[in-house]
Structure 1
């Protein structure tokens, strides 16, 4: 693809809507070029803009942030000013022509995708495009992928599809959909870049910002939560205490139960208030509390709708619990990565620079082989949970493997 004039890139690369996209200058330039092409700017090749985009990158790199910023810039007459009604409503998830698919359960169903695709084929009501933003395209069922593929193959003139997924691997996005999208690959942001944003934009004190950025393994959202939330910091401390708390088989089951209980408790606290408000709003919309003639009949007829809402909330709670567990497992895998590095004599910076004593103690106990086996056990647990193995079984198997690895090392 030919390059745009330097003056144009200098004018667009720092559009305000892209401010939250940390350490991704290459992606900002490509997206800015596409926005310029969509406006027909002179000197910009029309091929810079296309109707289907796939944003890939590791968790926390900003896939959905990039997609939403791009959606705002495409709708905005000023190419992403950040303060017009288009930019503000896209950021608030309320723009009438930007339809976001954010899976609350384990998958995105074919029914949901068909509804979105049908609506996306309409002409824009207020903006320049109808935009479909799928935040977790790797959760599309086979039927949903097929429904999306047909729309991507034969798009309406003013429809743009923005998909987000961890990678272009067929397990994440089907080959046929991938082949019809332009891929924007995002990188893991550096710790200094994250710390700078936390301090400058979020008002976090520099020391806390540096610490949060250094332990978040490049995950911007995780760093922001650790910097702001004492409860999140305490949960991390409890998770990382596990490797030094396994002295007996009884500890295996006790620590497994505590890890699961913390995940359930956090997921429950995140869901309860939201669920109650949703049910109350739905019942009100369906006429609950009415005293007219048809009030009783309307209430009876709405029972099925309320039940469907409750089913969706239960599915969302399951997804939330698994996301919380996965976050804990990512922290744990980072700890054992540090253990492996230290046991091999590496001088690479620790992912957990605030825990050098614990890392060294576990490294001395496990050695390189034991540390590698521990990393494998944690990663196997993450994969098992993703494949719908019951979390209790997956967690207990992992913790038992961690305990057994330490015991073998002691007896050697």
Structure 2
């Protein structure tokens, strides 16, 4: 199956990328993939990278000077066959000429941007192109973005940049003006469910529930379909609105959300930190079992600890943001019910009584205000607001009206 089969409900995007990969001389040197969360921005970039490196029939493989071969009557799959070794290596993340930047920090630092620029100047070592994928281009600040500008304006002949961001407005104008824009849309829930059944062998009923509850976010849908703890956690989140009947309840809910996100981030980071520390000591030739380390080694360990702490904070924020998305879906469903909207399906179809009670508790204007309150909290978290204070303010704003 073609690597583009992983792009769900994105036929127009697949056509654009397939056409570009099949004609290297007309390739654009910089691409910007945008779309809402779960639309598959990073998947589109990776599959495009695989198609560029593909050595399947009809791709002109082996022509590293930019020339391609036209094969008359070629009936085999085009670029991105999914079967050749380069395709498999790119999708597995092991191709030496495809660099993927997936930062866990709030911003991509200048030092990392300089490293990418140097790497982009090198010729491909194995494949036909050197590809640099920046999955979080919206985290480029002014300084790191300016570091990339020169390379985007005057790239080397066989280098392709692929930047990913939620929207054009999330990327500095100086960056987006130098890229070819590819916009992905939110796939239909049925298409996501079909992917889970076909790719992950999920039961069809569970796949449709997960796709709908995840609001077509493919990664979250897979987790909901395969992890009972994730489903239980989502049920806890969606039950919050009717429990916000007092100031004390609001403050407790805020604390619970922060604690749950912190514990999850800590559990994940502890194992990761131990592995990273051990690998670093081995690379430095130090003894991992030693009680004390030389000053030079301690300085490296200090930098590692700082990076891991930043990763843990980011993971905690992401966990809270996912919870707020689920919370907003409940108020959204209640608003649809309160206004009698037709032709729009509910997200939380498994809790009809809860949605009806919430719709009776608020006026439509109150439900709109609740959605705005949650949106404000998400923006404050993005701006590095203290999670507990942000959530306390939000929960207080969501307290049920008296009577």
- TM-score normalized by the length of structure 2: 0.91
1:353 matched residue in structure 2: 349
1:375 lines up with 2:371 in the alignment: yes
Q: 1:344 to 1:150 in 2, by over 3 A?
A: same
Q: Deviations over 1:164-220 (max 9, x none)?
A: 000111xx1111211111111101010110111111111100110111111111201
1:328 lines up with 2:306 in the alignment: no
1:211 lines up with 2:177 in the alignment: no
1:339 matched residue in structure 2: 334
Conserved? CA contact 1:199–1:206, under 8 Å: yes
How many Å separate the matches in 2 of 1:117 and 1:85?
27
- TM-score normalized by the length of structure 1: 0.89
1:23 matched residue in structure 2: 9
Q: How do 1:249-288 residues align onto structure 2 when only pairs under 5 Å count? A: 249-288=247-286
Conserved? CA contact 1:104–1:315, under 8 Å: yes
2:94 matched residue in structure 1: 94
1:244 matched residue in structure 2: 242
| Highest RCO, 1 vs 2 (Cα 8 Å, sep ≥ 6) | 2
| Deviation of the 1:361 alpha carbon | 0.4
Q: Is the partner of 2:100 in helix, strand or coil? A: strand
1:62 matched residue in structure 2: 40
Conserved? CA contact 2:34–2:184, under 8 Å: yes
Q: Deviations over 1:126-184 (max 9, x none)?
A: 11111110001000111111011111001111110000000111xx1111211111111
Conserved? CA contact 2:278–2:288, under 8 Å: no
Segment of structure 1 superposing worse, 369-378 or 280-289: 280-289
Conserved? CA contact 1:287–1:298, under 8 Å: no
Q: Deviations over 1:107-134 (max 9, x none)?
A: 1011100111111101111111111100
1:182 to 180, 183, 207: 180
Q: Deviations over 1:340-393 (max 9, x none)?
A: 111111132101111111111001001201101110000000001001111111
Alignment root-mean-square deviation, CA: 1.7
Unaligned runs of 5+ in 2: 57-78
1:311 matched residue in structure 2: 306
How many Å separate the matches in 2 of 1:290 and 1:374?
52
Q: How many residues align?
A: 380
2:381 matched residue in structure 1: 385
Q: Which runs of 4+ in 1 moved over 6 A?
A: 295-298
How many Å separate the matches in 1 of 2:249 and 2:291?
55
1:6 matched residue in structure 2: none
Q: Is the partner of 1:104 in helix, strand or coil? A: coil
How many Å separate the matches in 2 of 1:278 and 1:84?
32
Unaligned runs of 5+ in 1: 1-14, 39-45
How many Å separate the matches in 2 of 1:357 and 1:365?
12
1:72 matched residue in structure 2: 50
Conserved? CA contact 1:378–1:398, under 8 Å: yes
1:51 to 29, 35, 49: 29
Conserved? CA contact 2:46–2:90, under 8 Å: yes
Conserved? CA contact 2:333–2:346, under 8 Å: yes
| Deviation of the 1:99 alpha carbon | 1.3
Q: Is the partner of 1:374 in helix, strand or coil? A: helix
